[in-house]
Each structure stands twice: as structure tokens, then as C-alpha cells.
Structure 1
Amino acid sequence: MKKTYKKLLPTALVLAAMLGIAPAHAQGDTKAELIAMAKEMKPFSMRVLGPPVGTAEWVFVVQPFWTQAVKEISDGKVTATLNSVTDISAQPQDALQLVSQGTFDMTNMVANYGSGDVPTLDGFDLAGAATSTEQIKKVLAAYEPAADAALKKRYRLELLGAGMSGAQTFFCKGNINTIDDFRGKKIRVSSSTLAELVKGLGAAPVTMAFGELVPALQRGVIDCVITGSMSGNTAKLYEVADTLYFLIAGWAPTVQVANARSLSRLDEKQRAWLDKAMTYYYREVSDTIQTSNVNQGVWCNTADTRCTMVGQSGVTQGKMKLVEPSQQDLAKVREVVEKFVLPAYGRTCGADCTRSWNETAGKAIDMQISTQ
């Protein structure tokens, strides 16, 4: 029996979200409310920094939202100037500092990319901890207040929202049949918490820019890449990778973070509109797209006949072999999470941060970091 990795949404619903159009029930609710609110507010502008060009987050969510949807839901009152970190030759890890310095008013970024400056942000997505969409959504909701407090303390930044991205999985050159096959491999990771998971599996974590992945796999500099199933497709990893090992290593959740000084320049009506727009962004645009992209990413990379997105936004058909982890493999991952990932985060984040994670995110998914 063919497996559905997440509840697949109807194609029409996904396309509507891609175009910045909410599902029908939302069109009469949040979207209409945003337009009505916008009619009562003064125009304002936002300088927004987005993720790297070519990532699924940029292609399917961030770029369409800020360049198309915002104009509609603000009744033309909000002018958004959007740049990718790629456009300005910056690294994703630079985003928080660029917003803090006032170069941009806000950023949409993968939470883990900010953990070098604000370690608390790694708590949104400890590798291997949340194993389903239900779990990651519980973590995000529970942990937002702690992350917001840490951002305000470190940089005078404000968290406007957080949401899941695509499930992070393994694109590998050669055959991977069980989790033991990762031993000795060089695996590209995008966060310190993924690095701990990889080390726990007996592999070597490697960091490199997203745009370098295809040649690095091709030349054998790395053996595997951990990334979203759809991001891997739009980056054409299937051209140089043979196996899609569908172990969910993480979710690369994104956060909307704004400069507090920029927000202070908004009046009450403008700020109310922005807060509601961010809720709309995650609940009725991003979540819809990301949920579908997991399935479509897997199917399109592995020549499954259920792939329906070929030709859309750079999606093409691959011929990778799909391998699903066994129950024994999943049990080993749980051991690695408890032995390597959780303790490492506790050491990096400190006692207060660990206690906060245990009381919020950890409680939500029944996991705890030892404080002994």
C-alpha cells in the first residue's frame, strides 16, 4: 500500500494558497477582515528579508505572500520591499543582526538559523524530537512565549509568529537501506541540533550553503543532505542523489521576527492589521502549502504517479528510490535524541532555558531534558 506521509490537501486548495488566496471558508473570514481593517488604516511600508532563493519556503510561501497577497489583503495600503538573503549576498544566519541593526524591518527565517545569537530558538526544533505535524504544531504554540522573551532580551526584536516548514529528510548518494548505513557518511546539516543527531548516528555533520549542495554531492564532498522534500526537488538534488530516506529529522520551522523600533512607528490600527496578517500567513497560507509540499516533494522526487506539481514553481520529476525507516530504526533515533540531542541543547542553552523548554515544548510532546 502506498503511504501518505501527511494528510494531502486538494490541489485546488494548495494552488489557492500559493497565489495568496485563502481557502473558501477563510475568504469570508480572516481575509475579508484584513481587507476591512486595511480600509481604516493609513498606508505604511515594510522592508522584509526572506530566506535563500530556491528554497521551498521562498518559492512557494514567502515570495508569493509579500509580492502578491499582501497587496490584496491590505487593500493596497502596505508596500513591502522584499529581498532574499541571496539578493544581498548574506547568509541566513545574518538575518537577526540585519533586522536588529535596522537594515530591514522584519525577517522570515528558519528559527534554527538564529540559534547562534539566540540559542533559545533551537528549542523550536530539536532534531528528531517532534515526529508528526501534530507534535511540531504543539511545540510551536507552547514555545512561542519563551522565544519571544529571548529575542526581546538579546536584540530588542519581537516574534510575530512561528510555523512549521517542510519535514526535513535525507537525500543520499548511493543506497541507504537502514539507519546503520549512515555510519561514516558525511551529511550536510543546517543547524547545530541536526549536527548532534547526525553525530549520534555515527556520521559526520557538514555545513555548507544551500546553493552548493548539488556539486558537493556530485563530487563526493558530502554523501547526504538533510532538507525538505520539496526544497530538495526545486534544488534538483534528485539529479545527483539516489535514495530518499524518509526519516523525519526535523521541521525547519520558520519565524517572523521584527525590529521593535520599526513596530513602534506603527499606529494602533496598523499594528493590529500586521498581527492579524501574520496569523493569516501561518494558519491559512503557509501551513496549507507546507502540508501538501511534504507529500508532493516525496512523490515528485521518486516518480510516484501521485505527483501533480511538475511544471509549477520549478518542480520537476525525479527517479530516486524511496526508503522508509523501520520501527527498529525509529527506536534507534529516539535513543539518539535522548542521548545526544537533548543534552547538547541543555548544555548550550543553560539551566533557565532548559527549564523553560521542559515546561513548554517538552511537556507538549512528553520529552524532558535532564537537569541533573
Structure 2
Amino acid sequence: MLKKVLLPLVITGLSCAAQADTINLRVLGQPSGSGLIAQQKEQPFFEQLAEKTGLDIKVEYLPVDVAGIPDTDGLRVLRSGLFDIVSLRGPQVSRDEPSILGLDLVGLNTSYAAGKKHMDAFSGYVGERIDSQFNAKLLGVWPAGPQVVFCKPSIQGLADLQGLKVRVGDQSAANFVDKLGATGISMPFGEVQQSLARGVVDCAITGPASANSGGWPEATTTVLPVALQLAVNGYAINSNTWAKFTPEQQEKLASAISELNDDIWAFSEELYQDAMHCNTGSPDCKRGKPYSLTEATVAESDLATVAQAVGEVSLPIWAKQCNAVAADCEETWRKTVGTQLGL
């Protein structure tokens, strides 16, 4: 009889021990309506992470808007441990950690190749800051895509933004449009389409793929495809969660997320080209919804204005902001990215 009593208890104990070994990961993702990167790359990756890595983990993935958390709170959420892994929206969280803006100042990353080089050069410093200030490990960064200008009134170039209200993604973009005589307005992505339709803002800056997913072409007439930034994003994991994994497990997890980052870099470039086709009604549109925006021709003067913005606008203003929280911020940027630019 004693054996009959003890055996089920032993089995139950072993079962509980096995369950205790499973690591639960709560992942806070990109907004549900932000586009195909979140829908076709990020969410499937995390939902299949246990199978992909062979790790004994259970993953719960929630888009940031579904979770009811402001995307500006990504780093605070990481530090609190409320979520274990966060898909950081760089521009949005940069108010809590200004060094992140140094990865993607206006005028810095006007192409994917430039963006990869500059982000690689400075992401190590950003990772150190996130570690020391938010108890988290940066696992890589990736671009949503070139940030271009969508307007309800017809425009022909950047000069036509003077006097208009422009939705911007971060302070660097706000400073840039201010120099153009426009007013930069920050607002969540999900509110932009209606704000354009109602005239709360005249223009808005984002990537063509995100604009297509968000229905922006329904409320605008013109797209000016001059790349101001690449909209840097990234993945970070709470350091206490990271410590739950063995070194071998950490390597598997980091390697898998590194592959995701590389995949998104390539996919982002594909999406940009396709979304431009879709937004302007080209028959080459494959992935998005077709619209009929007018594509303004980018003048050489606009390209020059954007190129000059790094040294004249975005770097000086950002450096003061970043140096205020980290004395070595600008110095490190100039030794890494700045060296590549002659700044």
C-alpha cells in the first residue's frame, strides 16, 4: 500500500521538476498594424522559437498595442521584467535612452548599406548603455526602412513643408523639419491615418511599407521618397532572464535572434521597393494594397539638404541631449561613426 501511495507522488514530483526547468518568455512585439515585418517575420519567429532553437522554453508573444503598453515604455518594461524580450522601437524609446538616436540621425542613413555600416559601428556603445541603465542585453538592431514624407496637400520637395504640421518619429526628425519651417508633431503610429484625414497633421514621415499597412495613402496625395532615416529597431532581453540560460543556451538564443535580424534587413529592403510600387499604383505591386499616390521627384537640392543635416542639425542637437545623460556619448560617436563621415 505504501508503494501505491509513494509512486504517484514520485511521478508527480518528477513532472513538477521537469516543468520547473521550462523557461517562460514573454515577448513584447511591434504594433499589430505596423506592417509585414511584424506579421511575417517577427511574430512567426517568436512563436516557433522553441522549435527553432531546441530550447526548453514557452513563448508568449504580444504586440505592444494589444498588450496595452505605450511603445515609448519599451526600455522601462525591460527593466521591470514585465516582459523578458522586447522588440524595441528605437525612435520611441530614445527619450529614455538618447544614445539610440545616434544609430539613426537624420541624414546619416540614406541607404541600407550606409545604415548597416553606421549601426554596426555604434550599436556596441548603445548596448553598454542599455545594459547599465536598463538591466538588459541588446541582441541586435534592424531597420523598418527608409523614412519618407507622405502629405495630404500636394508637394514637390522639402521646401514645400514650410508652414505645415508634420508627424515625426523622433526628436531628430522634429529638429530637422523645424529647420525647414514646419512643425514636428509626435504621435503614435495608430493615430496618424485619422489625423491626416482630419487635418490634425498635413504630412507624416514613415516607411512606405508601414504607410501602406496603416492606410496612409487613403488620406494623402503625395509621397516624397527622400530617405531621412531608416527607423532603427532592435531586440533586447532582460538580464535576469538571460542569466537563466546556460552559456550554450545563450549562444543558441543569440544566434537565432541574430539570424532574425539579418532576415529582417533583407526583407525590409524588399518591402521598401514593393511598397513604393503599391502606394503609387504600379502593376509591379506584389505584397501591399494598391493606391494611387503621386510620387514627387527628389531634387538634388533635397538630397543635399538631407546630407547636410547630420553635421548642421541632427548631430549638434542630439549630442547635447545624449551628453547630458552620458558624458562620453558624443565622443564615442565621433570616434566610431564620425570617423567614417569625417566628423
Shared fold, TM over 0.5? yes
Q: Distance in 2 between matches of 1:128 and 1:172?
A: 20
Partner of 2:305: 332
Q: How does 1:1-372 map to 2 (within 5 A)?
A: 44-56=23-35, 57-68=37-48, 70-75=49-54, 77-283=56-262, 285-309=263-287, 315-350=288-323, 351-364=327-340, 366-368=341-343
Q: How many residues are aligned here?
A: 319
CA contact (8 A) 1:169 1:245 kept: yes
State the Cα deviation string for residues 62-110 of structure 1 (Å, max 9, x = none). 2122124x24412474322111110121111111111110101111122
Consecutive aligned runs of 4 or more in structure 1 exceeding 4 Å deviation: none
Q: Identity over the aligned pairs, expressed in percent? A: 28
CA contact (8 A) 2:78 2:135 kept: no
**SS of match in other structure, 2:156:** coil
State the Cα deviation string for residues 168-188 of structure 1 (Å, max 9, x = none). 111110211021101111000
Residue 236 to residue 367, structure 1, CA distance change in 2 (3 Å): farther
Q: Return 261-270 or 327-336, whichever deviates more.
A: 327-336
CA contact (8 A) 1:60 1:289 kept: no
**SS of match in other structure, 2:121:** helix
Q: Distance in 2 between matches of 1:102 and 1:76?
A: 20
**SS of match in other structure, 1:257:** strand
Where does structure 1 lack aligned partners over 5 or more consecutive residues? 1-41, 310-314
The code of the aligned residue for 2:272 comes to: V
The code of the aligned residue for 1:340 comes to: V
Q: Distance in 1 between matches of 2:250 and 2:23?
A: 10
Q: Distance in 2 between matches of 1:237 and 1:301?
A: 9
Q: Distance in 2 between matches of 1:307 and 1:354?
A: 42
The code of the aligned residue for 2:333 comes to: W
CA contact (8 A) 2:281 2:292 kept: yes
CA contact (8 A) 2:141 2:234 kept: yes
**SS of match in other structure, 1:265:** coil
Where does structure 2 lack aligned partners over 5 or more consecutive residues? 1-20
Please give the root-mean-square deviation of Cα atoms over the aligned residues, in Å. 1.5
State the Cα deviation string for residues 296-336 of structure 1 (Å, max 9, x = none). 11110001121112xxxxx3111001113111111122233
Q: Distance in 2 between matches of 1:175 and 1:296?
A: 23
- With the length of structure 2 as denominator, give the TM-score of the two structures: 0.89
Residue 292 to residue 48, structure 1, CA distance change in 2 (3 Å): same
**Structure ID, larger Rg:** 2
Q: Distance in 2 between matches of 1:336 and 1:318?
A: 31
Q: Distance in 2 between matches of 1:319 and 1:60?
A: 25
Q: Distance in 2 between matches of 1:144 and 1:231?
A: 24
